Amino acid sequence: MQLVDIGANLTHPAFHGDLPEVLARAVDAGVAQVVVTGTSVQESTAALALSKAHESLFCTAGVHPHHARECDATTIPALRMLAQQPKVVAIGECGLDFNRNYSPHPDQEKWFVAQVELAIELKKPLFLHSRDAFPRFPEILKQYELPRSVAHCFTGEKSELRAYLDLGLYIGITGWICDERRGAHLLQLVKEVPSDRLMLETDSPYLTPRTMRPQPKARRNEPAFLPHVLKTVAHAVGKPPGRVAEETTRNARTFFGLP
């Protein structure tokens, strides 16, 4: 059984001390490939370097809405240059975050649009972030003929899911679905995601599955824990884990053009 983790923040300082061991545990857990998330020009550059050093790693190149206020005239050219590299398989993580509001909404929207247009220009998939930004997020996307696009770490409600599916988006499910405090609604909603548009991710080091016993040290999530997400999703949709693994892996490899 092989899995693809479509979103892991492996350039995060939490992994600086033991990344080789983290990658080895991922392989042992059946996670054959990992897409490392780029969240700024600097982090996207680091994600690319990491991906080049490991055959099983690929990456995205983009600017997270938290960092939109830091963007300037050099940002899109820098992302365009990074995206020429074969290991860069999507533009993002980009979108809107009206929860933390680390960047003003106008800045978030400006650089979200710029990255959508870059992905269209380069014919690259989009790795999208939206938190507390419904309905503005799909309103922006509706203006474009989108490339393949995934709503990374979906945590929303039914109306939001329906809007994304109507736009043709793929849906990324994380350990949020394993959290009985705030993710229980996803156990029902995941049934509505077409099997050919569902993908799995850890969003490491965040969102450690609460179903894990015992919990890992410092509650740090890592790609090796993706089978816990798989197990919860498979139970929710009423399919054997092996079948969900096969479907989501095929979806990820097709979406990102992975070998």
Whether residue 217 is predicted with pLDDT greater than 90 in this model: the reply is no
What is the pTM (predicted TM-score) of this model? 0.97
Alpha helices in the chain (DSSP H): 19-28, 41-53, 75-82, 105-122, 136-141, 158-166, 186-189, 226-237, 241-256
Reduce the DSSP state of residue 59 to 3 states and report it: strand
Whether residue 227 is predicted with pLDDT greater than 90 in this model: the reply is yes
Tally the residues of the chain.
259
Task: Look at the chain and report how many structural domains it folds into.
Answer: 1
Average per-residue pLDDT in the chain? 97
Nearest CA among 25, 32, 29, 27 for reference residue 4: 32
**Residue 59 maps to which CATH number?**
3.20.20.140
* Average pLDDT of the segment spanning 115-139: 98
CA dist., res. 150 & res. 197, Å (int): 9
What per-residue confidence (pLDDT) applies to 139? 98
What one-character DSSP code corresponds to residue 37? P
Are 241 and 1 within 8 A, CB to CB?
A: yes
What per-residue confidence (pLDDT) applies to 109? 98
CA dist., res. 209 & res. 177, Å (int): 8
Residue 19 pLDDT class (50, 70, 90 cuts): very high
* 88 Rama sector, left if φ>0, alpha if ψ -120 to 50, beta otherwise: beta
**Beta strands 149-151 and 170-173: pairing type?**
parallel
Reduce the DSSP state of residue 57 to 3 states and report it: strand
What per-residue confidence (pLDDT) applies to 101? 93
Whether residue 169 is predicted with pLDDT greater than 90 in this model: the reply is yes
Tens of pLDDT, residue by residue over 39-97, are 999 999 999 999 999 999 999 999 999 999 999 999 999 999 999 999 999 999 999 99
* Average pLDDT of the segment spanning 228-257: 98
Provide the domain limits for residue 34. 3-256
* Average pLDDT of the segment spanning 151-170: 98
